[in-house]
């Protein structure tokens, strides 16, 4: 029976650890290996996977978000909507029409559903966009939150809804789906972690890196998902060994580490993925070799998971 796509989520508790660099290069290595790959950029406040691949934002589609609109000619000023709004997004003063505060509205539509007078109109505003493009023989989906909007999770949900729809229609379209999350451990990151088969948190060997790694691991463990970490900039100030020891003491498994490497910086600045088969980077370089090791370890992990699930079936 054809296998369903394996979903790998690349995340990082902290910004700037290099998770997008890792996500792009992992996706690229799967593509080099002949896999059909979809890369999804779920860092919707700062989407930059396409920049690392010299891609363009194409096929823009709006992401709509519910907003309640009061029909004053129908409203009896009963206040029921305001009393039941969990986020206090409807201000109601006796004898007045309710006033929506859209910045705190969760879009749950409860007010619209319970209004006895049908005095709340279903209205929508654009809070961001999704894009679908192709680059380096991979499909790339990107979410972008509109500046000044706060509902980043709704844009991530739109990406995941599109993915769900696609997998229902064409379950065998991709072999590998790589999801790149925002930094942090908030709800849009959680949505992308929840969708994963395997999770790769990316960190760096600093105290901040360790703290944020432990925070994201706490969330991953709560979700009951398998994970293995990558240490980026591992040669930074010679802290690697001590950092590895600390992770080992906490039983955190490592997929590999990536040293500081000029060619990685160069590939980043040029928007030319280090691991692309058509790139001219040095295949004996430390950065290049570290990605090869990580990819081998990742494939081994995938095989182990597959064997374990077959044995459990």
Q: Give contact residues for ligand SF4 (rule: CB under 6 A).
A: 66, 68, 70, 75-81, 85, 87, 89-90, 98, 100, 105-111, 115, 117, 119-120
| Nearest-approach distance from CB 103 to ligand SF4, in angstroms | 11
Considering only the C-alpha atoms of the chain, give the largest distance between any 2 of them, rounded to a whole number of Å.
76
Q: What Cα–Cα distance (Å) separates residue 188 from each residue in 129, 179, 198?
A: 15, 12, 17
Residue 36 CB, shortest distance to ligand SF4, in Å, is: 39
Nearer to ligand SF4, 120 or 155 (CB): 120
Is 58 or 122 the residue whose CB approaches ligand SF4 more closely?
Answer: 122
Residue 86 or 310 with smaller CB distance to ligand SF4: 86
Q: Whose Cβ is closer to ligand SF4: residue 59's or residue 76's?
A: 76
Helix and strand totals (H; E) in the chain: 10, 11
Q: What DSSP state is assigned to residue 146?
A: P
State in angstroms the smallest separation of the CB of 97 from ligand SF4: 7
CB of 219 to ligand SF4, least distance (A): 25
Q: How far is the CB of 187 from ligand SF4 (least distance, A)?
A: 15
Contact assessment for residue 146 and residue 157, using Cβ atoms and an 8 Å cutoff: no
Give dist(CA 189, CA 202) in Å, integer: 14
Cα–Cα dist 40/36, whole Å: 13
Specify the residue, 76 or 137, whose C-beta has the smaller distance to ligand SF4.
76
Strand partners, 198: 8
The residue (of 95 and 238) whose beta carbon lies closer to ligand SF4 is 95
Closest CA to 275 of 133, 136, 94, 103: 136
Measured between alpha carbons, how far is 29 from 43 in angstroms, rounded to an integer?
21
Residue listed under structure tokens 């007045």: 96
**CB of residue 11 vs ligand SF4: minimum separation in angstroms?**
28
Residues in the chain: 313
In the block, which residue shows the tokens 């209205």?
Answer: 123
């Amino acid at each position: 029976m054809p296998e369903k796509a394996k979903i790998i989520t690349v995340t990082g508790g902290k910004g700037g650890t290099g998770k997008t660099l890792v996500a792009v290069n992992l996706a690229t290595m799967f593509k080099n290996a002949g896999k059909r790959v979809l890369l999804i950029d779920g860092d919707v406040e700062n989407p930059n996977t396409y920049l690392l691949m010299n891609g363009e934002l194409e096929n823009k589609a709006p992401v709509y978000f519910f907003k309640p609109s009061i029909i004053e000619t129908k409203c009896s000023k009963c206040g029921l909507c305001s009393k039941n709004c969990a986020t206090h997004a409807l201000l109601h003063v006796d004898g007045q029409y309710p006033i929506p505060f859209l910045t705190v509205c969760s879009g749950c539509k409860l007010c619209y559903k319970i209004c006895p007078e049908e005095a709340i109109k279903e209205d929508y505003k654009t809070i961001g966009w999704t894009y679908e493009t192709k680059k380096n023989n991979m499909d790339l989906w990107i979410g972008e939150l509109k500046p000044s909007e706060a509902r980043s999770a709704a844009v991530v949900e739109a990406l995941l809804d599109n993915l769900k729809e696609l997998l229902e229609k064409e379950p065998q379209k991709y072999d590998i789906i790589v999801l790149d999350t925002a930094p942090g451990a908030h709800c849009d990151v959680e949505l992308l972690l929840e969708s994963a088969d395997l999770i790769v948190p990316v960190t760096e060997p600093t105290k901040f890196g360790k703290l944020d790694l432990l925070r994201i691991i706490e969330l991953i463990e709560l979700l009951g998902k398998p994970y293995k970490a990558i240490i980026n900039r591992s040669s930074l100030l010679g802290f690697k060994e001590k950092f590895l020891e600390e992770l080992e003491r906490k039983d955190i498994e490592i997929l590999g580490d990536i040293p500081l490497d000029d060619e990685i910086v160069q590939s980043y600045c040029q928007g030319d993925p280090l691991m692309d088969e058509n790139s001219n980077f040095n295949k004996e370089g430390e950065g290049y070799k570290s990605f090869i090791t990580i990819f081998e370890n990742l494939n081994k992990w995938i095989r182990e998971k597959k064997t374990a699930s077959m044995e459990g079936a």
